[in-house]
Amino acid sequence: MAKTTEIFEKVPSFDHSENAANTDPQAFETVVRSRRSTRVYTQEAIPEEVMRRCLELTLLAPNSSNLQPWEFYWVRDNAKKAELARLCLQQPAATTAQELVVCVARLDTWNRNRKLMLDAMERSGREVPESALSYYRKLVPLAYGQGPLSVFGPIKKLIFWLLALSKPMPRGPAGKADMRVWAHKSTALGCQNLMLSLRAFGYDSCPMEGMDPTRVRKLLGLPRTAEICMVISAGKRAETGIYGDQIRSDSSLFVFEV
């Protein structure tokens, strides 16, 4: 019988192959370098088709174990959009935006999404390695299940510490704080996909952390297990939309070769 950890230790024999598509590095660099946090937008609307395509591309972002602990709320109701701009402190990046998307990290959807992964693998018609099935059936519940009120957190933290005395071992997630970090990391990757997608289609964006997350959550009717990662505004950049040159310190402060 396959060990659950074989999914990490061995190359699985998936009945799948996929060649890498040819890409244009210069076009990608143009998208990355021209993406700026835009503070003021024109009144030009973003076509609905473009927004839908950008949101679909958002969901292609890498994420932890493909458990997709994210939700993206495209706020289209005018009253809700005006209230959301108010909850974003009436900053011009919100009040002049044509579109607003609330990016939400979910701490509680991993088990539903785990089952969806199993369903997808079992319905694929392909031969799926037992180690992959075992990973989603056994290891994922052990890793991400925290119990009521996260009571398993301290126990898991102790177990991880003891196991790590003799071998490399993940140290979490153990408790709600770890689950928050876990969910927000994947959600932030999705946010970057959304902003780069908008730029590729010729539109701009601004990630906003300056907002009231509790009231935003209530506006959308979300539970406490849903945390607001950021609000992303979008639109066509106005001439005054960028407040200054892009400032980055010397890369030697941040990039290291070891």
Per-residue pLDDT tens digits for 166-208:
999 888 899 999 999 999 999 999 999 999 999 999 999 999 9
Confidence bin at 7 (pLDDT 50/70/90)? low
Sequence-separated (6 or more) residues with CB below 8 Å from residue 142: none
Residue 88 lies in a domain: yes
In a domain, 201, yes or no: yes
Domain-located, residue 140: yes
In DSSP notation, the chain reads ---TTHHHHS----S---PPPP--HHHHHHHHHH--B---B-SPPPPHHHHHHHHHHHTTS--GGG---EEEEEE--HHHHHHHHHHTTT-HHHHT-SEEEEEEEESS-HHHHHHHHHHHHHHS-SPPPHHHHHIIIIIHHHHH---GGGTHHHHHHHHHHHHTTTS-------SHHHHHHHHHHHHHHHHHHHHHHHHHTT-EEEEE--S-HHHHHHHHT--TTEEEEEEEEEEPBPTT---S------GGGT----
- Are 76 and 184 found together in one domain? yes
pLDDT, position 1: 44
Shared domain for 40 and 103, answered yes or no, is: yes
Considering the entire predicted model, what is its pTM? 0.93
Average pLDDT over residues 89-108: 98
The pLDDT of residue 145 is 94
In the chain, the percentage of residues whose pLDDT exceeds 90 is: 82
Residues 180, 79, single domain; the answer is: yes
In a domain, 145, yes or no: yes
Q: Tally the domains of the chain.
A: 2
Looking at the fold, whether 105 and 182 belong to one and the same domain comes out as yes
Q: Are residues 53 and 92 in the same domain?
A: yes
> Do 50 and 125 have their domain in common?
no
Mean pLDDT of the chain: 94
Tell whether 18 is covered by a domain.
no
Among candidate residues 134, 163, 192, the one where a domain is terminated: 163
Confidence at residue 6, expressed as pLDDT on a 0 to 100 scale: 64
pLDDT value of position 14: 74
pLDDT of 106: 98
What is the mean predicted confidence (pLDDT) over 247-252?
97
Question: Is 227 a domain residue?
Answer: yes
Residue 43 clears pLDDT 70, i.e. is over it: yes
Asked if residue 82 and residue 187 are part of one domain, the reply reads yes
Q: For residue 192, give the CATH number of its domain.
A: 3.40.109.10
Check residue 12 and give its pLDDT. 72
Same domain, 101 and 203: yes
pLDDT level of residue 13 (50, 70, 90 thresholds)? confident
Using one digit for the tens of pLDDT, what is the confidence trace for 212-226? Answer: 999 999 999 999 999
Residues 47 and 95 in one domain: yes
Residue 91's domain spans which residues? 36-109+175-241
